[in-house]
Amino acid sequence: MTGASSATKLAQGPIEPAPEPLLEMRFPAQADRLKLVRGSIRAAARMCGFNDTAAQDIVLAVDEACQNIIVHGYKGREDGEIRLNLARKQDGIQVILLDTAPLVDPATIVPRALNDIRPGQLGSYFIREIMDTADYRPRPDGAGNLLEMFKRLDSTPWQAT
């Protein structure tokens, strides 16, 4: 092996194990279906090692992301579908949501300001507050949107002061 190729290999660091799939669901993008999904998200979070409070927070974040798809993506269209993939990583839980709604510009997804108590935009605020990462991008197949979220096991849960 040449020195250059060794340096390249070192720079790449250790290979991270692939996420372990826990659950894949497809469901109609309708408000009354979300209660069917919440229990599974909570159970998956607990399986990954999150405590009750953190698991409930993750349920809220994923539920809000689904609501955004229903309300802002499909705009109430009842023939839309949401795909939810939950996977366990060494250090937390990975959540992927896919839809076939028109492409969303991530720059338009703005959480509310902290001192703004008007109704609305709270959903995106909860997602940013609870999850460690939330990455919006087009689906690789170009058929809609993909939201990839991650919550680390060791991230400090938000505490009231």
Residue 69 or residue 98: which is nearer to other proteins going by CB?
A: 69
Strands annotated E in 67-107: 81-89, 92-99
* Count of other CB atoms within 10 angstroms of residue 73: 24
Question: Binding of other proteins at residue 54 (CB under 8 A)?
Answer: no
Which residue of 35, 108, 141, 156 would you call a contact of other proteins, by CB under 8 A? 35
Shortest CB 82 distance to other proteins, Å: 13
* Count of other CB atoms within 10 angstroms of residue 160: 3
Q: How many residues lie near other proteins (CB under 8 A)?
A: 27
Shortest CB 46 distance to other proteins, Å: 15
Question: Binding of other proteins at residue 158 (CB under 8 A)?
Answer: yes
Structure tokens at 4: 């250059």
Q: Which DSSP letter does residue 69 get?
A: I
Using CB under 8 A as the binding rule, the residues of this chain from 115 to 154 that contact other proteins are 117-120, 122-123, 125-126, 129-130
Q: Which range in 13-21, 29-37, 92-100, 140-148 contacts other proteins by CB under 8 A?
A: 29-37
Residue window 59-88: x/- pattern of binding to other proteins, with contact defined by CB under 8 A = -x--xx--x--xx-----------------
Q: Which residues contact residue 151 at a Cβ distance below 8 angstroms, ignoring those fewer than 6 apart?
A: 45, 50, 54, 58, 61, 92, 93, 95, 130, 131, 132
User: 21-43: string of b/e by CB count within 10 Å (b at 16+)?
Assistant: ebeeeeeebbeeebeebeebbbe
Q: Which range in 5-13, 31-39, 133-141, 143-151 contacts other proteins by CB under 8 A?
A: 31-39
Residue 75 phi, psi (nearest 5): 50, 45
- Residues contributing to the site for other proteins (CB under 8 A): 31-32, 34-35, 38, 53, 56-57, 60, 63-64, 67, 70-71, 114, 117-120, 122-123, 125-126, 129-130, 158, 160
